[in-house]
Structure 1
Amino acid sequence: MKKNEYIEAKCIDYTHDGQGIVKVDSFPIFVKNMLVNEVGKVKIIKVLKNYAVGRLIEIYEASPYRQVPLCPIFKQCGGCHLQHLSLAGQQNFKTKRVKDTLERIGHCHVGVQPCLMMEEPWYYRNKVQVPIGTQGNTIVTGFYKQHSNDIVPMDKCYIQNEASNQLINRVRILLQEVQETPYDKVTHQGNIRHILVKYAFTTQQLMLVFITYQKKIKKIDYLISTLKKEFPHLTTVIQNINSRHDNVILGDEVKVIDGPGYIEDQLLGNTYRISVKSFYQVNPIQVEHLYQKAIDFAELKPTDEVIDAYCGIGTISLSMAQYVQKVYGVEIVEQAIIDAKENAIRNDISNVEFTCQDAGEFMVEFAKKNKHIDVVMVDPPRKGCSQVFLDQLITLAPDKVVYISCDVATQARDIAYLQEHGYIVDICQPVDMFPQSHHIENIVRLYKQ
């Protein structure tokens, strides 16, 4: 097989990120935007030792799951991966991906429920952070082209909420008007690096964050007064200063320019304060299904004592509180714990205790108390649970563990370890928190043998 060679091939499977897989004499070729069972003309664009990469040139036999992408820049933008695949096709892909990953990495053969899909899978995100740059003399906002630092200009993102789309467009125009300059990664000149917007679906409150390289923003008072007149739901404006020369988006310094520095949203009957660095699930519609499923799987009792590890601003902790005697929430991000404590007060919930600490260290100290814990709820970052955390979880020996994950591969790795130490997975429910992308949230329940 050679570069620039053309082949006719049939797609037989998907990679973890939704690329089609075709094989020639058992040699795999990864083809972006090709769907299972499709036959087409493929151009080989890269040949490596163990696989090749192809480009789909022409489709001879299309999949019944193929659809026309809603977004006109879908192929250029790196934000979405599966707009060409129908909702039913995405459900099949995500359900199979969870099943295959649990079996391959976790050696876990639990029955996987069909992925819980979103009825209207558009305009669902409550948070957007867009890079800002220039093309010629014009300021542009958008998302990076896949595997590059080139911004694909965008006026409308079909998975972001409409309020955020409109606000970002207006900010871009105003920055051009006041002659504020985007930051240049190469020369380290200019100022505005990203625009971040958070939107509360239930209260309609908007937060605008200017992520800057410099300390000051040109004509910031004019910018704010103009935006607040045009966007009455814009309740707070913040500057985040990031003078680093790397790809980290948020800096350490946060300046509240206008408003309280947070917005409020409601979830499963409780009200939550959301600040710049607070983790809050990006799909507020699906997250209620996700958390309710996790709580249902925990089968909580009024006498239960529960640990909520990696608790963030306390959304799961406070949602569980009404069902149990005590909840212990632990999170390493200080601002998130400040918000969590405030959220408990705001919702008049007194049986939750929040601690700012590494989850593994917290479990070590908790295990020393020889106190029985009935359920541990775990929702870690993408890298999964630390070894220290897992070891102390085994020491605590809760009756049930409910593990929510945004990366089924690290979840499967942790499941394999827990299975070696007496736990069995009996329920698995994927939830599509990220329609149009290959990302997936997954819930499993483990119980002690």
Structure 2
Amino acid sequence: MTRPVPDRGAAAVRRALDGRQGTPAEPPPPPPPGRRPGERALRLGTLAVVALAAALVTGRPWVLALAAAPLVLLALALPGGQRPDGLTARAEVEPRRCFEGEQVTMRIAVHYDGESGRLDPGVFLGPGVRLDHLASGPHHVELVLTAQRWGRWTLGTVDVDVYDRGGLARRTVRADLGEISVFPVPEHAGLTPIPVRLPQRLGEHTSAQRGEGVEVTGVHPYARGERQRRIHWPATTRRGTLQVHGFAAERTAETVVLLDVLTDVVDPVTGTSTLDATFRAAAGLVRAYLRTHDRVGVVSIGGATRWLQPGSGQGYFYRIAESVLAVRKDRSHRSEGLGTLPPPALPAGALVYVITPLTDQRIFDVLHQVRGRSNPVVVVEIPTGDPVVDPGDTEGELALRLWRADRDAMRFSLVESGVAVVTHRPGETLDLALAPLLRTRVQGGTR
């Protein structure tokens, strides 16, 4: 049976509030070793000292009677009872992988020899999580946290003070909570545009080639070996020769989602992070294509180039998400340079989605590499928001016009080179951005 944890004092409450806000970045100092007096012992000792000092100052012996009771309680507590010893703590966190906004439950089992009065936990939380619930029992402490943002987060530590039965002495044991992986919440996406050429694998997309499918493409003269059930009798009657149905082959699509993590730009008006919007849009694209049994891979450009070859299956979504979570570790955005794309990361003919805010010129070098491999490319632009200009600032307004013209020129150059450019605004469904791509199949480049 659990009970609410009593007040631990201003310092402990301040530690918990700091953890709730995710502000502490440095690890907490190590807990004090050995046994030390508790708050009750300090209060009794303070009362006895004050009484003795009052007796000396006033010269009245009867004041010593006020110190008798605290001294007797302290004397009786020194040799009596079995105090807790041999403290160990083990933390269990469930789950270690979750999505943004989901709760994580932690249970800390405290083992000790002897008798204990109560457990008093002090929580030091890392960034990215929020403390929602804290309770303790005779041998355990339970915490409920909420994962606030995607990334890899250090949960922090919990220092548990174990008091003796009289509450006069305490010892501290520390439990390390470890790390959790928080996946971004995927944007809603149901549309899956496909390129003109599809690989020779069975799937759910119709291709221009004849094959075993369900979509009729026309009729043609009967050839030996074709199934008689496919004879088209009206055409046979009109032409006087056997005519059979022609069907389109069904193929799977290969898609690679390329993430631009070179920079993280925050919209000055809405506070939206381009890195957050990039990962959520990528998660929506990956989930949409995996649901149609297509093969999906991922490449993240920024610092060390991370990539995962295309694969299929709903479980592959978590492998893809795990491969790119290292970009954010405890609020730090890691991006040092630009690496070369490895050939296995971009299979021939795979449709490549480049999700980028178009703020770093190095992404155009990456696009040049992709176009050089004849892959069909779709650039999904994440708007960064216009810079804020003070009213009446003519130079700022001129700079803003030049900034907008430069971005329009970048989009125009991409379209002229045969790259499809769509804009995904955070808060809108991803299907609104992908809908124009359904007018025709995405064209590939030429070597």
TM-score (norm 1): 0.33
TM-score (norm 2): 0.33
Q: Which has the larger radius of gyration?
A: 2
